[in-house]
Structure 1
Amino acid sequence: YYRAMHEHRCTITDPYPSLLNDDLTVTASQPIFDEHGEIIYVACIDMPLNEVLKIAHPMALESAAGRFFRLGYAGFTLVLSFVSLLLFVKGIEGFLSYGVGHADSIEIKDIFESTILLTLSLAIFDLVKTLFEEEVLGRLKNDHASSIHKTMVRFLGSIIIALSIEALMLVFKFAMTEPAMLVNAIYIIGGVAMLLIGLAVYIRFTNSGERH
């Protein structure tokens, strides 16, 4: 009340325990002015903090459908986490199989394959992190659209890197063993080029939309 009177604008207090039930509560105060700009009175309303959060963040509504979808996202994030972990373990397994002190015996093919697996593991892990924070925990960032945009760019970028490494590995392999199969590597390179073009167009239009 006093803060709204002093600042001549709507104010919201910090959460405090209610005297009625000890639940966290916030008070919103709005000064009402007359035609001369003088304060006539101040309208105040007390609201439980959880109700305020539901208004500010509709995804936090504990409806049956909301709980169902949240459990669904939790299941997907759990499964994807296992996939990411398996890819990570498989990625470092090739190096560990050589043992300590045998770095000179590691083949280039194994390095490429491990890099692909680790890159895919990172991409899936980043996707899991975003799904868990925003869909399961319900933590929306200040710029939700920008957050989704960055996650999409990182995910597609990781896929493009993995495909590029795979194409490079196939080029080396087929060039030395089966030159007639080089066309398959060219197809992958063409797909990577199309993904790069698509990603560039996506970034271009997304950035233009954010500026407007």
Structure 2
Amino acid sequence: MVARDIQNFSEIRTKARAYFCYLFSKNLPNRLPSITPEAIMVRMQKIMGDLRDAEGIYLLDQKGVQVTPTFLPGGKQTDEDFGRIRSDRAYYYRAAREKRCTITDPYPSLITQDLTITASQPIFDENGALLYVACLDMPLDAVLQIAHPMALHSFYGRLFRYGYAAFTFMLSMVALLLFIKGVTTFLHFGLDVRKIEIKEVFESTILLTLALAIFDLVKTLFEEEVLGRHRQDSGATDPHKTMVRFLGSIIIALSIEALMLVFKFAMTEPAMLVNAIYIIGGVSLLLVALALYIKFTKRAIEE
């Protein structure tokens, strides 16, 4: 669970940073004269009130020394944090060095011991000199919820997840039945190779290919819709790879069927070969359509 959450965070990190940067830029005073810690913390407490899952807020000076207590939800605060040196923490030196809003990698929280991230915003005076770094701690699971609001805490999110879970279960049963049928169709010949019929081998291959296509579809649906893994890879077909791989398996199955019919009609009914040609033509059209689909999908991603 922890490893998957960290991987999910790496995929939505840019979106999470943009969200926190928007909150900071909208609420915090910056590049103004006479900015005081009290004025900053009033705005930070407003942000924490809007974020129900926020763990704590605090303010560092230009040297990384904490100049306020750590304010916790419910009006509580940790006074012993006042004066602590945070200059070696990533949320300070990255914000000071890059001079922009940053978020850290997940790390164990000193408050809850769960994985958390810290969003930090440098605050400058009217001349552009660094005055403070405002920090906000958020649990990792809350950050993931911000990026994917249809997750577990939503009623409709749970409903859709259960629906997808039911569909993936039934589709996995279909794939299992096709697999069993394909295996038994081939194995009923036993160990006597002389009894093997080409027609039965082709039919078994088609069943196994369809089982593989459905199983691959089930795997992708289960990972993305039930487990909540949202991929953001840069490959040309990745945004629609389920469609591409499923259609590819169907094309393979139809090609095998066409090949089987060619052999069958060539030996028994040559006049029926035209039907096999029709299937081969349909497979060719599917290949062309799939190639165009991949090409235009890649172009849309690049644009």
TM-score, normalised to structure 1, is: 0.89
Within 5 A, what are the aligned runs for 1:118-157?
118-143=208-233, 146-157=237-248
Which residue does 2:199 correspond to in 1? 109
Deviation at 1:149, TM superposition (A): 2.5
Deviation at 1:24, TM superposition (A): 4.0
Per the alignment, do residues 143 and 59 of structure 1 end up closer, same or farther by CA in structure 2, a change over 3 Å counting?
farther
Q: Is the 8 A contact 1:18 1:24 kept in 2?
A: no
Which residue does 2:50 correspond to in 1? none
Paired residue total: 210
Q: Is the 8 A contact 1:123 1:159 kept in 2?
A: yes
Give the letter for the 2:257 counterpart. Answer: E
Structure 2: which 5+ runs fail to align? 1-59, 61-86
Q: Please tell me whether Structure 1 or Structure 2 has the larger radius of gyration of its CA atoms.
A: 2
Report SS of the residue matched to 1:196.
Answer: helix
**Distance in 2 between residues matched to 1:146 and 1:39, nearest whole Å:** 45
Q: Does 1:163 align with 2:250?
A: no
Which residue does 2:108 correspond to in 1? 16
Which residue does 2:282 correspond to in 1? 191
Deviation at 1:55, TM superposition (A): 0.9
2:153 to 59, 62, 69: 62
Give the letter for the 1:88 counterpart. Answer: F
Write 1 or 2 for the structure with the bigger share of helix: 1
Percent identical pairs in the alignment equals 66
Deviation at 1:18, TM superposition (A): 5.0
Which residue does 2:129 correspond to in 1? 38
Tell me which moved more, 23-32 or 67-76: 23-32
1:175 to 266, 285, 288: 266
Which residue does 2:93 correspond to in 1? 6
Q: Is the 8 A contact 2:91 2:135 kept in 1?
A: no
Q: Is the 8 A contact 2:91 2:103 kept in 1?
A: yes
Structure 1: which 5+ runs fail to align? none
Per the alignment, do residues 164 and 155 of structure 1 end up closer, same or farther by CA in structure 2, a change over 3 Å counting?
same
**Distance in 1 between residues matched to 2:187 and 2:140, nearest whole Å:** 52
Q: Is the 8 A contact 1:18 1:25 kept in 2?
A: no
Deviation at 1:105, TM superposition (A): 2.1
